[in-house]
Amino acid sequence: MFRSDAPATARRPGMLMILALTVGLLSASAARAQAAPAPQAAAAPSQRTFAQGGAMWLNFIKADKTTDFEFVITKLKEALAKSEKPERKQQAAGWKVYKSPDPAGANVLYVFIIDPAVKGADYQISNIITEAFGNTPEANDILKKYAEAYAATGAISIANLNMLQDFSK
């Protein structure tokens, strides 16, 4: 087995490449998210699942709503941790949240890296929050902050990923 004394970032070129590629490709998406009209009360998908592999989930958040979005992310982590469903613990183990230091137009970019994705598990944030907090004023407040944080309709972009090569093996 190959062992390296290089820093963790040097051993993870794939992750860095994905993040660099993502930031590089965002200019068109950021412009679209910035120019799009304010979000309408559109029906969210009832479930968000990933068949296999992993996923990269881009979230374009209004610059003045980052505190609210990060509050929602904290509540999401809490919801996953307190769930008695084993798949929620598995989801939490493979779900990482990054905040880009680079501007995405007038917005702030948050990237979810899900690796590995739990096959068939529901990643729909509103469903996870509702499952954990019920139909309560607290849950409604969390979901309102979540919905109002997004820059515009279409300010979410999801890429399902299938492993091509794992350089760590």
* Average pLDDT score over residue span 156-165: 91
The mean pLDDT value of the chain amounts to: 80
Strand ranges (DSSP E) for the chain? 54-62, 95-99, 107-114, 156-161
Which pLDDT belongs to residue 45?
A: 53
Q: Which domains are seen in the chain, by residue range?
A: 8-37+46-161 (3.30.70.100)
* Average pLDDT score over residue span 94-119: 96
Determine what percent of the chain is predicted with pLDDT higher than 70: 72
Which pLDDT belongs to residue 152?
A: 85
Q: What is the pLDDT of residues 1-53, one digit of tens each?
A: 433 444 444 444 444 334 433 444 443 344 444 434 344 334 455 899 988 78
Which pLDDT belongs to residue 155?
A: 85
Which pLDDT belongs to residue 115?
A: 95
Q: Report the distance separating Cα 145 and Cα 83, nearest Å.
A: 22
Q: Report the distance separating Cα 143 and Cα 151, nearest Å.
A: 15
- Please check the confidence at residue 145 and state whether its pLDDT lies above 70: yes
Full-model pTM = 0.74
Tokens 């999401």 sit on residue: 76
Q: Report the distance separating Cα 42 and Cα 127, nearest Å.
A: 15
Strand ranges (DSSP E) for 2-155? 54-62, 95-99, 107-114
Tell me how far CA of residue 90 lies from CA of 5, 114, 129, in angstroms.
29, 11, 16
